[in-house]
A and B are shown apart, each in its own frame.
Chain A
Amino acid sequence: MDVILFLIFAAISLVCAVNVVIQPHPISSAISLIGVMGSLAVLYLLLGAEFIAAAQVIVYAGAVMVLFLFVIMLLNAGRETAQSKSETAHLLGVPALLVFALLLAYFLRQRPEEGVHFGGFTGGSAEAVGRALFTAYLLPFEVVSVLILIAIVGAIVLARKEI
C-alpha cells in the first residue's frame, strides 16, 4: 500500500517536473510546478513529516506559486519562441544529466537502509518541530525572520513606482 502510494505520487511528480522544463508557455510550467509540490507533500507525509507537508502546501504551493502566477499574468508572458539552440549542448547535455543522476543514485544507494512506511518516524509532528525550532534551532529561526523582513523591504523598494 505504501509502495503503491509512493509509485503513484513519484510518477506524478516526475511527469510534472518534465512538464515544467518542456512546456513553452510559463503558465503551464507554473501549474506543473504546483503539481510537483503537491505530490512532494504527499511523499513528505509518507516520510513522517506531517508539519512540513502542511507547510509545503500552505507556503510553497499556496503562496509562492500564487506569486509566480500573478507575475506571469501581469507581465502577460507569452509562449517562448523557438530559438537557434546549440546542438552540441543538447547532444552532450541531456545524456550527461542522465549519467549524473544515475551516478548520484548509485552512490546514494550504498547505505544500508530500512524501509519507509507510514508510522516509521513519528517525530515530525507539529509539537516536535516546534519544540526543536524554539530550543536547538532558535538562532536560525530568528535569523530567518530577519531574512524575511529584508526580503519584504527589498521587494517593496524594487517594485514601487518611482515618483
Chain B
Amino acid sequence: MDASTAFYVISLIKILVVFAVLMTTLAYLQWIERKVIAHIQVRPGPYFVGPHGLLQPLADVVKLITKEDLLPPYVNKPIYLAAPFIAVSMALLSISVIPFGPKIDVFGYQTYMQLTDLNIGVLFILAVSSVGVYGVALAGWSSNNKYALLGALRSSAQMISYELPLSLAIAAPLLISNTLSLRQLVVTQGGAPGHPGTFWNWNLFHGWQWISFIIFLIAAFAETNRVPFDLAEAENELVAGFHTEYSSMKFASFFMAEYANMITVSCMAVLLFLGGWVAPWPAKYGSGLVPVAVFALSGLIALYHGLHPARRMDRFSLPVVGVVFLIVAAVFLAPFTQSWLLPLFWFCAKVGLILFAFIWVRGTLPRFRYDQLMVFTWKFLFPIAVMNLLVTGLVVALV
C-alpha cells in the first residue's frame, strides 16, 4: 500500500473509531448524568433496565426511534427538517479537530490520534459553534409556535452574547501558547514528543490563567444551554422551548447535539488550560501507575461490595464489574500500551472531570432568569474577560 492510499485507509478507520466511541459516549453520558444527579438528590436513579440501569440509554434510543415521527402540517417543512440536521452536524464536526493523544504507530504507519490537525483549529471550533446557533434559531422559527419562537430567540441571543467572553477567554491562553493549532497547544504545554512535561507546564498553572479558565467554563455553560443558563429549553418554562414541535428522532438529534457540544467545550477547556494529554508528572517517574491504581482500587471496592450485597442483583453484577476493572488495570500495566493508552487515559480523565463538573452544577444550582443572564454577560463577564486579556497581553509583552 503506497503512502496516499494508506493515508485514506487510516483516516477512514480513525473516523469510524471516533464516531463509534463518540456515539457510545453520548449515550452513556446521559446515563452518567442521570445517575450523578440522582445521587446528588439522594435517590438511586435509573436502576431497573439492565444492571444498575446500564441498558437505560439503549431503552431510550429504542423508545425515541419507535415514537411516532410527527410532521405537523403548519410548519415550514424545509427549514423544520434542516434545523436538527444543522445542529447535529455542527456539533459532531467540531470533534474532528480534537487531538486525543500523541503520534502512534498503526501497523507500521505513523499517525496522529486526531482526525485532522488544522493550523487554525481553535478558530474552526469557534466558527462551527457560531453556525450551530442557526440550528436553534431556525428550529424555533419553523415550528410556527409562539413558545418555540420565543425560546429560540432567547436561546440564540444567549448563545451569541456568550460567544464574546468565550472568545476572549480563549484568546488569553493563546497569547501564552502562541499558536492556533490544537496539537501545538498541547505541545507547548509539555506534550512535546520525547520531552514530557509536568502539571506545572499547563496553561492553568504556569500561565496563571485561572480567571480565563473560570470565564471559559461559565461561557461554556451558556453556550451549550446548560444549567444555570438553560432557561430557553427547561421543561417548566416556555413549554419546552425551541424543540416543542419536534418528536422522536429529530428531538433526539437536539439532545445529541447538546451533549456533543458539552463534550466539545470540555475538550477545549482541557486542551487550552489543562495541558491536553500531558500527565501531571512524567510517566518515567511513575505516573503510569496512577490508572492502574485507580482501576484496581475500584475493582477491589466493587468486589468487596459484591460479597456483601445491598440489593439482590448486586451479588452478580458487582463482582463482574470488579473483575472487569481489574482486567483493565492489568492492561494498563502491559508495556505495549504505555505510549498511547496512558496519554489517552489522562485526556479522558481530565475531560471526564470537567463533564462531571457540568453535571454537578446541573444538580446544584438554580437557573438564571433571562434578564439576569444577559446583564451578567454584558455588564460583568465581558468587561472582566477584556481586562483579563489586557493583563495577559501586558505580562506576555513585558516578561
Chain A contacts to B: CB under 8 angstroms: 27, 31, 34, 38, 50-51, 54-55, 57-58, 61-63, 66, 69-70, 73-74, 125-126
Contact = CB atoms under 8 A, between A and B. Distances in A.
A62 B131 contact: yes
Contacts of A55: 123
Interface stretch (B25-33, B152-160, B219-227): B152-160
Interface stretch (B133-141, B186-194, B304-312): B133-141
B120 interface: yes
A51 B122 CA distance: 11
Given A27-B141, A31-B79, A70-B153, A54 B123 contact: yes
A156 to B, nearest CB: 11
Interface of B: 76, 79, 119-120, 123-124, 126-127, 130-131, 133-134, 137-138, 141, 149, 153, 156-157, 160, 163, 180
A73 B123 contact: no
| The 7 A-B residue pairs with the shortest CB-CB distance in the complex, in nearest-first order | A62-B130, A54-B123, A57-B127, A58-B127, A58-B130, A50-B120, A54-B120
A50 B119 contact: yes
B120 A51 contact: yes
A34 B124 CA distance: 17
Nearest to A70: B153
A51 B123 contact: yes
B133 A62 contact: yes
B164 to A, nearest CB: 10
Contact of A70 (B79, B126, B157): B157
Contacts, number: 58
Contacts of A62: 127, 130-131, 133, 160, 163
B11 to A, nearest CB: 15
29 contacts: A31-B79, A34-B134, A38-B131, A50-B120, A51-B120, A54-B124, A55-B123, A57-B127, A58-B123, A58-B126, A61-B130, A61-B131, A62-B127, A62-B131, A62-B133, A62-B160, A62-B163, A63-B163, A66-B134, A66-B137, A69-B134, A69-B141, A70-B156, A73-B137, A125-B119, A125-B120, A126-B120, A126-B123, A126-B180
B352 to A, nearest CB: 29
A132 B138 CA distance: 38
A43 B302 CA distance: 56
B79 A54 contact: no
B88 to A, nearest CB: 17
Contacts of B123: 51, 54-55, 58, 126
Contact of B160 (A38, A54, A66): A66
B127 A54 contact: yes
A61 B124 CA distance: 13
B345 to A, nearest CB: 32
